[in-house]
Amino acid sequence: MAQGPTITNVSSTTANGTYGAGSVISVTATFSSTVMVTGTPLLALNSGGTASYASGSGTSTLTFVYTVAAGQNSARLDYTSTTALTLNGGTIMDTANDPANLTLPAPGAAGSLGANKSIVIDTVSPVVTNVSSPTANSTYGVGSVISVTVTFSSSVVVTGTPLLALNSGGTASYSFGSGTNTLTFVYTVAAGQNSARLDYTSTAALTLNGGTITDTAKNAASLTLPSPGAAGSLGANKNIVIDTVSPVVTNVSSTTANGTYGVGSVISVTVTFSSTVVVTGTPLLALNSGGTASYASGSGTSTLTFVYTVAAGQNSARLDYTSTTALTLNGGTITDTAKNAASLTLPSPGATGSLGANKSIVINTTPTVTNVSSTTANGTYGTGSVIIVTVTFSSTVVVAGTPLLALNSGGTASYASGSGTSTLTFVYTVAAGQNSPRLDYTSTTALTLNGGTITDIGNDPASLTLPSPGATGSLGANKSIVINTIGLSVVSYSVIFGTASLTYNVSTNGAARNRLPWLITGVQVVFSAPVGSADANSLTGVTAVGFSGLGTNTLTWTITPISLANVSTALAGSGADAIKDTNGNSLNGGAGFTQHFKVLMGDYNDDGVVNVVDTVGVNTKTVQPYSVFADINGDGVVDSNDVRLTRSLLGSSLP
């Protein structure tokens, strides 16, 4: 019996690779010689499928075709066994009609299909295993781009632009990832799209949109998604908020107290939004005073603070912004955390929520007098004293001419310096007859221009109204300056005599006595006020050898003793030795004071001669009540010493 052809090799013309359902795999069986085929022999494969003879009769190589059917899988396609080739009612013979030997090389052995090729049969479809996002958890607004990743159970190949419907109302479009098991979809947030937690709409939210998603074996991927919010869903994996609602201004107010503010004042204006806003740059708020408030702080909160520094020439009866569009970005931004640009529309000026409605802030940059004081020390000042009065304005003023300030002493302070600053200096030189127990100006209108001007730097006239005299801010309230030009006068003029330095008031009692019967050793003068200036030479007509009492009301001169003389003394009211009070006021307005007295020691009875009548008279007083005129030696008692002293002066006379 002749031997028929044998199978020498089994291979495939199909490229190595993975093939899924529907794929057509060609398997070639090579015989040792030409064979003739009838019918449709079959080759059972380890994928569960069967390759059917297709062609090759009359050659030594037969081709079998295997169309992969669902459920057929093989990690390395091969036939099932050495007997996997079956005639299926047909024949395979050589040309001599000898039946071919159908025994195949052992699967996996040399010459087997599995040994020659690496063909995988995979008919399992990819499924979605996870949906997430590389975009950080946060809130995103219009224009934000959010990436959504869809992970399959195996690599998938994408054609077209599959879509993923989102619960914000938006759609994520396939972007990249084909050939991998993770596809990336991109979602650009559009106006009106909002989601408290971004997710896809449903398990069927992933659609092919005309494209395909298959694995490499061409198996169409399953598009079924995890239920929204369930494990593996976008909502479960991420916390992405879609917020396309723009912040709006809900209120404009100020932390500055109601009141009137001038140049240099700093006013804080607060702008409250409906939600937290983030600021870049320096947005501005135009104000009806002509000024502008600049953003200062508050980014990251719902309330922004703008600062307004009042400048000269800016005024407003009730501070507000200029219009509903007064808030401008000035090159910066104001957005919410979702990057939604804030609405800059403000409440209408004066309407509810506006600055003007919330606050009563007056901007008045007209210079006003805020304080009147003096750099002169508190004290009492007299004729010729110079008092410096300072008038402080609320802002810088410019002075022309010589404005005047009328004072309650009757004098006038004249402008001296300070133009170009906020404080003007006036000088007041005290004149005779001007007095004030507490120096102040005469009234709130005491400041007058005197033909000059006091303006701000914009040449607008300053307000000249002064604080009420005596009220806070007034000269009288700030300082205690006494103007006293009444001057110094003599209250009493006494001589000092005797060993006990007794005194006798000549000015009061002079008319009652022509001659003083003692040895005069000094002069003591009591003045109407403490004496600030005097010296030994202030008393003339006698020879002063000592002087004391300066700073008190009483001056005492010790003199070369006088026992017999017609004395004319004078107290200087002018000149280098003028007697002045502590305020500089001269004695009797500069006229001085004169005092005449006669001295005839021992002339007890004041008859102009010392004789026995005086001696006897003094002697009688040794037994009678004390008489200072009998106390010739001035020791405080009248005794024989006075009698003898009188006797010793016998014959002295002074008409």
Residues forming the site for another protein (CB under 8 A): 604-605, 607, 609, 611-620, 622-623, 643-644, 647-648, 650-653
Nearer to another protein, 231 or 651 (CB): 651
By the 8 A CB rule, do 355 and 252 touch?
Answer: yes
C-alpha distance from residue 148 to each of 7, 128, 198, 222, 233 (Å):
55, 13, 10, 18, 11
Minimum distance, C-beta of residue 641 to another protein, in the bound complex (Å): 13
Minimum distance, C-beta of residue 644 to another protein, in the bound complex (Å): 8
Neighbours of 353 (CB within 10 A): 15
- Tell me how many degrees the CA angle 26-31-32 measures, rounded to the nearest 5: 155
Minimum distance, C-beta of residue 560 to another protein, in the bound complex (Å): 21
Nearer to another protein, 76 or 644 (CB): 644
Nearer to another protein, 511 or 623 (CB): 623
Minimum distance, C-beta of residue 613 to another protein, in the bound complex (Å): 4
Minimum distance, C-beta of residue 648 to another protein, in the bound complex (Å): 6
Minimum distance, C-beta of residue 647 to another protein, in the bound complex (Å): 5
Nearer to another protein, 199 or 614 (CB): 614
Nearer to another protein, 552 or 653 (CB): 653
Nearer to another protein, 125 or 611 (CB): 611
Residues 233 and 517: their CA atoms lie apart, in Å, by 133
Residues 19 and 375: their CA atoms lie apart, in Å, by 106
Nearer to another protein, 173 or 605 (CB): 605
Nearer to another protein, 271 or 618 (CB): 618
Residues 270 and 395: their CA atoms lie apart, in Å, by 26
Minimum distance, C-beta of residue 511 to another protein, in the bound complex (Å): 22
Question: What backbone torsions phi and psi does residue 135 show, to the nearest 5 degrees?
Answer: -75, 135
What is the C-alpha radius of gyration for the chain, rounded to an integer number of angstroms? 63
- Closest residue by Cα to residue 44 from 10, 18, 91: 10
Minimum distance, C-beta of residue 624 to another protein, in the bound complex (Å): 8
Minimum distance, C-beta of residue 600 to another protein, in the bound complex (Å): 12
Minimum distance, C-beta of residue 564 to another protein, in the bound complex (Å): 12
Minimum distance, C-beta of residue 517 to another protein, in the bound complex (Å): 13
- Classified as helix, coil or strand, 466 is coil
Q: Write out the two tokens for 242.
A: 């879609």
Nearer to another protein, 482 or 654 (CB): 654
- Classified as helix, coil or strand, 641 is helix
* 547: CB partners within 8 A, 6+ apart: 534, 535, 536, 538, 555, 556, 557, 558
* 80: CB partners within 8 A, 6+ apart: 44, 45, 46, 107
Nearer to another protein, 248 or 650 (CB): 650
Nearer to another protein, 442 or 620 (CB): 620
Q: Write out the two tokens for 212.
A: 């395909």
> DSSP E strands: which ranges in 291-420?
292-297, 301-309, 327-328, 333-336, 361-363, 369-374, 379-381, 386-400, 404-406, 412-417
Q: Please identify which residue in the block is written with the tokens 């020439």.
A: 313
Minimum distance, C-beta of residue 521 to another protein, in the bound complex (Å): 22
Nearer to another protein, 165 or 654 (CB): 654
Residues 143 and 132: their CA atoms lie apart, in Å, by 20
By the 8 A CB rule, do 62 and 56 touch?
Answer: yes
Minimum distance, C-beta of residue 605 to another protein, in the bound complex (Å): 7
By the 8 A CB rule, do 141 and 192 touch?
Answer: no
Minimum distance, C-beta of residue 618 to another protein, in the bound complex (Å): 8
Residues 435 and 119: their CA atoms lie apart, in Å, by 126
Minimum distance, C-beta of residue 632 to another protein, in the bound complex (Å): 13
Residues 349 and 252: their CA atoms lie apart, in Å, by 10
Residues 382 and 487: their CA atoms lie apart, in Å, by 8
- Tell me how many degrees the CA angle 334-338-342 measures, rounded to the nearest 5: 30
Nearer to another protein, 191 or 612 (CB): 612
Nearer to another protein, 186 or 613 (CB): 613
Nearer to another protein, 36 or 565 (CB): 565
Nearer to another protein, 398 or 616 (CB): 616
C-alpha distance from residue 574 to each of 299, 431, 492, 552 (Å):
77, 16, 20, 19
Residues 324 and 320: their CA atoms lie apart, in Å, by 11
Q: Please identify which residue in the block is written with the tokens 């017609």.
A: 566
- DSSP state, 104? P
- Tell me how many degrees the CA angle 533-538-540 measures, rounded to the nearest 5: 170
For the residues of 518-587, what is the DSSP string, one character each? S-EEEEEEEESS-EEE--GGGEESS-EEEEE-TTSSEEEEEEEEESEEEEEEEE-SSSTT--EETTSPBB
Minimum distance, C-beta of residue 614 to another protein, in the bound complex (Å): 8
Nearer to another protein, 269 or 630 (CB): 630
- Closest residue by Cα to residue 599 from 642, 558, 562: 562
> DSSP E strands: which ranges in 166-223?
171-176, 180-188, 206-207, 212-214
Minimum distance, C-beta of residue 611 to another protein, in the bound complex (Å): 3
